[in-house]
Each structure stands twice: as C-alpha cells, then as structure tokens.
Amino acid sequence: MARYLIKRILGMCVVIFLVLTIAFIIVRLAPGDPAALMLGPDATAEDAAALRSQLGLDRPITAQYLSFVTGALQGDLGTSIYFKQPVVSVLAGRAEPTIFLSLFSLVIALVIATPIGIYAAYRRGSLLDQGAITTAMLAASIPSFWTGLMFQRYLATDLGWFPASGYGAPDASFVERMGYLILPSIVLGIVNSALILRFTRASMLDILGEDYVRTARSKGMTERRVVLRHALKNAAIPIITVIGLTFALLVSGAVVTERVFNIPGMGNLVVSAVLRRDYPVIQGALIVVASLYVLINLLTDLLYLLVDKRVKY
Amino acid sequence: MAAPSAASPDANFLALLFSRRAVLLALIVFAAILLLCLFAPLVAPADPMKMSVRARLSPPGGDFLLGADAFGRDVLSRLLYAGRVSLMIGLGVAALASVAGVAFGLLAGFFRRLDGPISRLVDAMMAFPDILLAIALVSILGGSVVNVIIALAIVYTPRISRIVRASTLVIRELPYVEAARALGSSTRTIMFTHVLRNILSPIVVQATFIFAYAMLAEAGLSFLGVGIDPKTPSWGTMINEGRQYLDQAAFLIVFPGLVISVSVLALQLIGDGFRDALDPRLAKDL
C-alpha cells in the first residue's frame, strides 16, 4: 500500500515534469522571434530587445528552461504580456466562473446520467435502454457550442427563461452571478452526461453479471433490493473513475461554452490570449489544467482504495 | 451473432457489419455526405462564393433551398464545399494520428527501454484537454488547414499509441510470435508482419472515432476563431460567421450544426460497427 502510494506519487511527479516540458516546448516552437510576435508589426527593435531580456529570451535555452521549471514549481508561471501581471493571478482572477460552471455541469450530468445508466442496464435491451444509448450517442455527436447557441436563441432570447449571456454587472452578487451560469451548465451537463451514461451502463452490466448478484437473486431477494443493495454500491467505483475522466472533457467544454455565453472565465481568457499572442497565459493555463487533471486522476485512483476493499495494490 | 461460416473472413466481416441496421444506415448516410461534398462542383446549385445584396439572409425555400447568408451566398452550396474542408481535416487527422500512433505504440510495446519514456510522454500529452492543447498548438503554428491537421494529429496521436502499445504487449507474447522468433524472423518482420497485422482492427476502430472527434474539434476551433482562416468555408467557420445573425437568421447555424452532428453520429456508429464486426468478443454491449 505505502509502496503503491509512493510509486503513484513519483509517477505523477514525472508526468507533471513532462507537462511543464511540453508546455515550454510548445511556446518555444513558435516560428520567429517570440518577442516581435508578441509586440506586433509596429514594434521597434529596441522594444523587442527590451521584451526579450524581460522574458529572459536572450539567455541560453537550457538556462531559460531551468528557470522556467524552477519558477513553475514555486508557483511562478511568468508574466502576462497583455495584463502585465503574474500569469497565476490573471488565471486566478478568472477562475470563479470556470470552476462553478464545471461543478454545476458535472452535478447536472451525474443527476441525468447515473440513474438512467443504471436503469438502462437493469432493463437491458428494452426500449428505454435503446433510447438512452441512442440519445447518449447523439449528445456526444452534437458540437456543444451549437447546442449552446440554440439554447441561447430559443430558451434565453425568445422565451426569456435565462439570461442570454454575460456574468452580471461588476457589482453583481454571488447568487446573481451564478444565475448566469444555469443555462451554460445545462448545455455542458448534457454534453458530459453522454459519456457518464455509457460508462455507468457498461459497468452496471458487468456488475449485474457477477456471481454475488446471482447469489442474491437465487436467495429470493427482490430485484429492487438486488439492484439497490448489491449492484449500486459497487457501481460507485466506475462513477468515481468517470469523474476523473470527464475533467478533461469539462474543461474543453467550458472553454467553448464560456465563449458562447460570453462568460469571463479561464476559457475565454485563453482564447483571448491566443488572439493577443499572450503566450505566457496560454502556457500557464495548459500547465494549471493538465496538473489538475493529473492530480484528480491520482485522487480518484486513491478513492478506489477507500471504496472497494477488494482493490489491493 | 452470425454462426461461424466457411465464408472468407472478409465476407464474414461485411456480413457482420451490415447485420446491424443502424450501422448500415450510418454507412449509407456518411457515404452520401462524402460523395455530395466530393462532387460539390457538380451538384451544388450555385457558386458558393457568389454574393448578392438582394438575397441577403433569405430564409430557406424558394431560390435558396437552405437560405442565403449575410452576403447573399447560397447556404446549401457553401455547405457542400465547406464539407470538403471539414471532412479532409477529419480524415487527415485520423490518418496522420494513426501513422504516428502506430510508430510510437509499436516502439513502446516492443522495446522495454523505450516503453517508460514513451508511455510517460503519452500520459503527459493526455493530461491536456484536447481543445486547449489544440488551441495552443494552432496559436503557435498559425491557422491554416494543414496546421490544424498537424495540431489535431498531435492531440490524438497518444490515444492511438496507447492502444497500439497495449495490443502489442499482448500479441508479442503469443505462441505464434515466439514461433516466428524461434524460426529466426527479424524483429522488424515480427513487428510489421506478425504484430501490426493483428492489431489493425483496434487501430481502424480508434481511427474512425478520431475522424469524428477531429471534425468536432475543427468546428470548435473555427467557432472560437482560432482555427483555419475564417474565409475558408468549413462547417465550423460557417457557424462562426452565422453567429452574429443568431437572432435574425438562426438557419445559418442550424444547417451546418446538423451536418456536423449527423456526420459525427454516423462515424461513431460506423466505429461501433467496425469494433463489433472486427472483434465479436468486444460486442457485449449494445
């Protein structure tokens, strides 16, 4: 157990180190002089030289890499060219809507997908099962931004059920701000429910085929009890896994959904950063999100140990 | 499931593939979309670039079956031409990611010393959400059709690589590989003749899904305005262009969205069909 933990944590450190390296390389891959690119065509040679030394681009590449990695490990992801502020605080300033959008949509997706997935597995082959699978596949095929635009037009603009876009006035209260996230969360929740539904159904099918389920049935236990007492408990594990897996999907979805609904979150920030050639912000967002993904997946693996006593490492 | 027959494996594969109505329907629909877009110059009712002030935002019906956009250009014709770009990107990404993924996966599966580094690299690449990594790559490479293909291929290569590695690890321990080795086959022969040929089915299945994901990702990048040149019509850029007119002319967005969804759905069904037909053991669900 302790050995497994150490191994996993070491593995995670290696992966995070590689994440940093990849993020470093991606930005260095930019053709031409990054400083000139960032400043645009009107910049003078002196401006470019000043920015180069500010960014440390005039030092040898290995020195740049070392200071980048040591900085990142201490929570220093560089300075935004556009905001002239540390990347970490720029990202943190935009984190609130992204975090709540992701959380709400995850809850919505779980609330939609897990009961349907379990019921579909239980009534395998029924009309409801086939309908659920087809709907899930359809939901996974529709671009999330398209669903977002449609909902925005028909549910927000035409019917006026939800605010159409934005995140409230700068002095809007927390509750008011969250109100702006309802429709985007529904959109993102629907998209993410597809994966969770398929996953829950598949793992429930596995469990329903297990020996102990047959034993419970042959003891004369009612189907309801079999499903609720025996199968459901064991379905917790795959549901935990899928939360880890959907994280990447949630973030990708949030980037696009924030753009649709004009929510000033991290996704919108990254897209604007691309248009402004603010590379440190793009790099910082990549590092933060990928590190979170690695961390969340480590945590879900560790949760296994707590939930399922059979899992031994 | 079909009973084992004496027919050739290929005929068996097709029989299995076509035995599911949904898959057959998906194949027909996808082939139709592919052909219509391929022969766009022959079937398109109008020049996709021809502007007309009077036709501005004409609703569907009449002279313009699917309406006209803000420049009075025929939406149906634009959809057909745009499909060529979107499908080419999907296909290009699937092909490029497969080749690169097979190379990395085989190396990792065959050479123990390379396995650690390649697998960790794959883990790290897969930690980046696909759209975010694609945005970063396109922002560096610049937005052209080729660069979007390269960026998305980089994003999806790890998925293929992971599957190829896993399959290689299983197959290289099988008796026939051992036999080939005992008979003096070189590592290269074993890799390409004995292993690669036997892991083609999971690769084809995964490549079909990547085709679908890549089309969704292209649409997403174009929607965000960080994909291909907005002047090149693709299904994604059409939605991006139409967005301004969401309240007056939603059809500008509805139709491209529908073709993307239908194509992606068809590809996913085809992928599922391939998986079940190529490896009936995997066909336990659905």
- The reply to whether B21 falls in a domain is no
Average pLDDT, whole number, for chain A? 83
**A13 touches B: beta carbon within 8 Å:** no
For residue B237, what is the enclosing H or E element?
A: helix B235-242
Q: Could you report the per-residue pLDDT of A140-196, keeping only the tens digit for each?
A: 899 988 988 888 888 877 787 878 777 777 777 788 788 788 889 999 998 888 888
Mean pLDDT of A128-133: 86
The mean pLDDT of A198-224, rounded to a whole number, is 81
Query: Is residue B239 in a domain?
Result: yes
Question: Is B141 near chain A, with CB under 8 Å?
Answer: yes
Q: How many domains does one find in chain B?
A: 1
Provide the Cα torsion B218, B220, B222, B227; round to 10°.
-60
Find which of B132, B213, B238, B241 to mutate to test the A interface (most A CBs within 10 Å of its CB).
B132
- Spell out the residues 6+ positions from residue A139 whose beta carbon is closer than 8 angstroms to its own: A190, A191, A193, A194
Measured between alpha carbons, how far is B201 from B275 in angstroms, rounded to an integer?
A: 7
Helices and strands (H and E) in chain B: how many: 12, 0
In a domain, B102, yes or no: yes
Residues of chain B with confidence (pLDDT) below 70: 1-19, 53, 55, 57, 64, 72, 279-286
Beta-carbon separation of A271 and B135 below 8 A: yes
A273-284 pLDDT, tens digit per residue, is 888 888 889 889
CA distance B15 to A223: 38
The H or E element that residue A105 is part of is helix A95-122
Torsion of CA A198, A203, A204, A205, to 10 degrees: 90
Residue of chain B nearest A17, judged by CA positions: B124
Asked whether residue B67 is domain-assigned, the answer is no
How many Å apart are CA A173 and CA A211, to the nearest integer? 54
Q: Domain residues for B154? A: 27-37+75-283
CA dist B267 → A59, B20, B212, B215 (Å): 49, 14, 6, 10
DSSP state of A306: H
Whether B212 is in a domain gets the answer yes
Contact between B261 and A142 using a beta-carbon 8 Å cutoff: yes
DSSP SS3 for A132: helix
* B185 within domain boundaries: yes
Report whether A210 contacts A237 (CB < 8 A).
Answer: no
* Triad B120, A198, A225: Cα angle to 5°: 120
Q: What is the CATH number of the domain that holds B177?
A: 1.10.3720.10
In-domain check, residue B59: no
Residue B6 falls inside a structural domain: no
> Is residue A236 within 8 Å of A305, Cβ to Cβ?
no
CB B246 within 8 A of CB A164: no
